[in-house]
Amino acid sequence: MARQASLSGFTELLPAERVVELHVLDSLRRTFELHGFSSLETRAVETVGSLLQKGEIDKEVYAVSRLQADEDERGGRTDPQQLALHFDLTVPFARYVVENAGYLAFPFRRYQIQKCWRGERPQEGRAREFTQADIDVVGDGELPFVYDVEMALIAAEALEALPIGDFVIRINNRKLAEGFYRGLGVTDPAAVLRAVDKLEKIGEDGVVAELVETGGATEEQARAALRLAAIRTPDTGFVEQVRALGVEHPLLEQGLTELAEVIGLASRRAPGRVVADLSIARGLDYYTGTVYETVLVGHESLGSICSGGRYDALAVKGDRRFPGVGLSVGVTRLLARVLAQKLATATRPVPTAVLVSLADEDGWAAADDVATLLRARGVPTEVAATAAKFGKQIKYADRRGIPFVWFTTTDGDGVRHEVKDIRSGEQVPADPATWAPPADDLLPRVVPGT
């Protein structure tokens, strides 16, 4: 990662780094499939009209048009039919659900692991091309609340399986915050959410000032909002702390019940991995209930590596409403940190476990027969391309990170097979029909970094 990308914001990995990325992607896929999510991909392009319909005009989208098209065929920013690359996987998935509703069985569970693109200025944790790994459950008309609990459990399990160290999933609930503000008598709860979201940036007094000046709140209301935002518990203790603030509202009650159910069940299954964090405001403007975000402990500055929440209407088709709850893992963001700080590394950059050496140029077919026997038992194997001196063939294996070299020699006693572990130098007789490397050497593995 010390290398400079030749196009800023478009990272390309080296083979050993890609082994770590593949490990992360395979692991996420496995967890998602164990929980019954179907794989899905959507096309890379959407119409600008579809991408920007949620008013996300601040997103820097990449427009796409045929290079040989006439200038007037290349729509401008005002043409809703102009094609553009998707900037997340939620908007394309919502469109897919509407288009294919007749072919899907609801509640529909899908995972989607794809590249996304944003034209924003690149910085650590923010690339122009990046991979997201999303899961969503979407219902037709209704979607039981228990899926909100399930999402937190899956997130904990999925992240637990990654080589990323400690993490905390912070959970809040839009109804809780909005109900609290309404109970306080605030006239514009959305403005309070926006102001509280700036807490880390502008501090408590800054938030109070903003709320009083532009949020239509009294100083007392503003201070109460900050007291709410200060609550953070690893269990359902937050309920009592909120009640102690003396604010009442039916929406607040509903939010407390929901958040308590998520935190209660999730902290039972994954103790220490979840906290109720009432300071979380990000996403509260578009999510309608539970919201999740996740930080790597010791890497909080990286921002959230797994975020999501509940939408009352993820998609709408005429009268039909499709509520959803989901999560998105920022694979590229996560990986950038893992690779830069060597939190995890690959045991080798190539899949190859064995190089079958060549004693002479005519021996290639026989060597390939040995390789075929090894591969038939799942051992990744290459055949040397030239009958260079054995020392040179061993050096080739060493340079590429291949741990074993196979030697076949023919003399008066017939054909003799031997295999050398070039790390230890140990060389032993071996039968190509039965030999296998130690399990740890079969495939590249990802291990904690040094």
CA–chain centroid gap for 236, Å, is 27
Closest approach, Cβ 288 to a second copy, in A, equals 18
Q: Closest distance between a second copy and the C-beta of residue 325, in Å?
A: 11
CB of 49 to a second copy, least distance (A): 12
CA distance 46 to 315: 15
User: Looking at beta carbons only, is 186 or 371 nearer to a second copy?
Assistant: 371
Q: Which is nearer to a second copy, 83 or 176 (CB)?
A: 83
| Residue number with CB closer to a second copy (87 or 407) | 87
Phi, psi torsion values for 317, nearest 5 degrees: -130, 100
**Nearer residue to a second copy within complex by CB, 149 or 186:** 149
For residue 67, the minimal CB distance to a second copy (Å) is 4
Name the packing angle between helices 174-184 and 219-229 (round to 10°): 160
Which of 110, 420 has the CB closer to a second copy?
Answer: 110
Q: Which is nearer to a second copy, 22 or 212 (CB)?
A: 22
DSSP string, 104-173: -PSSEEEEEEEEEE--SPPBTTB-SEEEEEEEEEE-SS---THHHHHHHHHHHHHHHTSS---EEEEEEE
Gap between the Cα atoms of 132 and 140, Å rounded: 25
Amino acid of residue 106: F
As measured in angstroms, the least distance from the Cβ of 277 to a second copy is 23
Strand 381-383 and strand 354-356: the pairing is parallel
Q: Least Å distance between CB 449 and a second copy? A: 18
Put the strands of the sheet holding 354-356 in their side by side order. 381-383, 354-356, 404-411, 414-421, 427-429
> What is the spatial distance between Cα 132 and Cα 333, in angstroms, rounded to a whole number?
9
Pick the closer one to a second copy by CB: 129 or 258: 129
Determine contact, residues 189/308, Cβ cutoff 8 Å: no
CB of 227 to a second copy, least distance (A): 32
Cβ proximity of 148 and 262 under 8 Å: yes
Report d(CA 276, CA 267) in Å as an integer.
10
Residue among 18 and 227 whose Cβ is closer to a second copy: 18
Contact 421, 407 (CB under 8 A): no
The gap between the terminal CA atoms of the chain, to the nearest Å, is 16
Name the minimum Å distance from CB 246 to a second copy: 31
